[in-house]
Amino acid sequence: MLTDTTIAARADNKVAAEIGDETVILDIESGYYFQLNVTGARIWSLLESPLSIGALCEKLQAAFEIDADTCRSEVIAFVETMLDKKLATVS
């Protein structure tokens, strides 16, 4: 289970491009493309350097109008999806 102290980062071997407010990611190994909306693109950008879930939430709360509990639950769900798709790693 992910917690505030879990460190998340982008996985290697991914190529990303910004298209407007969105980001498209190519998983080189699988050949799959992923499209991220504005919020997902912001998370991807922030994970360029490893970052704790807690720090990620703080940065997102500063950028978007969202309460702490909602932000935390949605960030955790998003990072879990990224882990499932092998787009992120955690430690």
Q: What is the pLDDT of residues 25-81, one digit of tens each?
A: 999 989 999 999 999 999 999 999 999 999 999 999 999 999 999 999 999 999 999
Strands lying side by side in the sheet with 33-36: 14-19, 22-27, 33-36
Q: Structural domain boundaries of the chain?
A: 7-85
pTM of the model: 0.93
Give the pLDDT confidence score for residue 9 in this predicted structure: 98
Q: If you average pLDDT over residues 78-88, what whole number do you get? A: 97
